[in-house]
């Protein structure tokens, strides 16, 4: 890892392990190691038995991260969004709701 990747990795791990939570934005030009960082974070949490939800806005991006799926498929987001649209697949007592409560990390690429 580069020094910058290690800094982000450690900060995300610390926030999750100490139950601080947070939103982290990772940006950079192509080839700067964003996918490597996301993969390392997934592996770091999953190696401890933690749940990681990896989602992306497009199918191509979803293929870049281990276990990645599109946000539309995971959350049931309608393709034709209106002001009344909801993620109707997420019922309070469903397996999907449980999956969104339990993860240590949600990565959205």
Q: What is the CATH number of the domain that holds 21?
A: 3.40.50.300
Phi, psi dihedral angles at 106 (to 5 degrees)? -120, 120
Report the interhelical angle of 34-46 vs 3-17 (nearest 10°): 30
- When pLDDT is averaged across residues 29-36 and rounded to a whole number, the result is 90
Give the pLDDT score at 87.
Answer: 66
Q: Which two tokens stand for residue 8?
A: 């982000």
Domain that holds residue 50: 3-108
Question: Residue 9 in contact with residue 41, Cβ under 8 Å?
Answer: yes
Supply the pLDDT for residue 36: 93
The residues facing 105 across adjacent strands are 52
Contact 58, 108 (CB under 8 A): no
| Mean local confidence (pLDDT), 4-27 | 91
For the chain, what is the domain count?
1
């Amino acid at each position: 890892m580069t020094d910058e990747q290690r800094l982000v990795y450690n900060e995300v791990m610390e926030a999750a392990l100490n139950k601080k939570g947070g939103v982290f934005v990772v940006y950079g030009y192509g080839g700067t190691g964003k996918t490597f960082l996301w993969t390392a974070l997934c592996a770091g949490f999953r190696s401890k038995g933690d749940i990681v939800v990896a989602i992306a806005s497009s199918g191509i991006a979803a293929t870049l991260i281990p276990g990645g799926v599109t946000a539309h498929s995971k959350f049931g987001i309608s393709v034709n969004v209106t002001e009344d649209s909801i993620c109707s697949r997420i019922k309070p007592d469903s397996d999907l709701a449980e999956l969104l409560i339990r993860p240590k990390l949600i990565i959205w690429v």
